[in-house]
Structure 1
Amino acid sequence: MRALAFALIVVSLGACAGPARRDGGVATLDALRDVQAACAAQGRTMKLKPEGDAQSIDAYACERN
């Protein structure tokens, strides 16, 4: 189970960092779900960054609870 969670985190974070991002960096429901799952696997909560554009997936960050 931990290996699956780790793989999900790596894939999710790699998708955000790479040049060919899924959905072009737009915060679609699927992209938000994936980021939320990666944050939850780390025991963190997904939040919109201050002054962040809610339509951009880069505007979200995992923060400690």
Structure 2
Amino acid sequence: MIATVSADLRGVIGFSSFGVLIYYAIANASAWTLSVSEGRPARAVPVVGVIGCLTMSFTLPGNRWWPV
């Protein structure tokens, strides 16, 4: 609530998008550590996931890494 009052709403949305993509990049990196008995996906899936999330997060329009 405070962020919407004190910052530009577009910046808050961009920062939120950045945070979600970083979160999913970490989740994909964690999937790399799963064993076969834990139901790990093919090794290429987490790699593509990490690369995709990081690429999308750092190509967000403008400076969306911190709402100013």
TM-score (norm 2): 0.38
Bigger radius of gyration, 1 or 2?
Answer: 2
Higher relative strand content: 1
TM-score normalised by structure 1 residue count:
0.39
Structure of greater relative contact order (alpha carbons < 8 Å, 6+ residues apart): 2
